[in-house]
């Protein structure tokens, strides 16, 4: 039976790991054993924070809409309730963008909803 050498696969695995931990501090970027755990933790945090990012962006949109609606005599909750009642199909992201960049159009939307 022919001899099987496994150096190529190991080198490839190590190379890809070292590429992933390139910007880490200290021995986290140099030592394979420590790099492996650092990479695992980094992946875990990245997965979790992709979910958190969605949450924080939604909060930001709500704050922006509330800030834009307050001077027009409404609160955020009253405004969103009126939007549902009038069946306006704009989501929070779009509304916050309109409120920031096109305040005149946003005023028209608010007056329609009132």
Domain around 91: 25-113
Placement of tokens 């979910």 in the chain: 51
Reply yes or no on whether the pLDDT at 114 is more than 90. Answer: no
Largest CA distance in the chain: 84
Whether 12 is in a domain gets the answer: no
Reply yes or no on whether the pLDDT at 15 is more than 90. Answer: yes
Burial class of residue 28, CB neighbours in 10 A (0-12, 13-18, 19+) = middle
Full-model pTM: 0.77
Whether 6 is in a domain gets the answer: no
> Tens digit of pLDDT for each residue in 53-64?
999 999 999 999
The DSSP-derived string for 50-106 is HHHHHHHHHHHHHHHHHHHHGGGT--HHHHHHHHHHHT----HHHHHHHHHH-HHHH
Reply yes or no on whether the pLDDT at 1 is more than 90. Answer: no
Q: What is the mean pLDDT of residues 79-99?
A: 95
CATH number at residue 69: 1.10.1900.20
Whether 16 is in a domain gets the answer: no
Whether 5 is in a domain gets the answer: no
């Amino acid at each position: 039976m022919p001899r099987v050498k496994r150096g190529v696969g190991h080198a490839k695995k190590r190379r890809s790991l070292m590429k992933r931990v390139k910007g880490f501090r200290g021995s986290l970027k140099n030592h394979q054993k420590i790099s492996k755990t650092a990479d695992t933790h980094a992946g875990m945090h990245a997965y979790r924070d992709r979910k958190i990012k969605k949450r924080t962006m939604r909060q930001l949109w709500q704050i922006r809409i509330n800030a834009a609606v307050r001077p027009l005599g409404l609160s955020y909750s009253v405004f969103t309730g009126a939007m549902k009642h009038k069946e306006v199909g704009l989501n929070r992201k779009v509304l916050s963008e309109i409120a920031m960049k096109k305040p005149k159009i946003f005023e028209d939307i608010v007056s329609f909803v009132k």
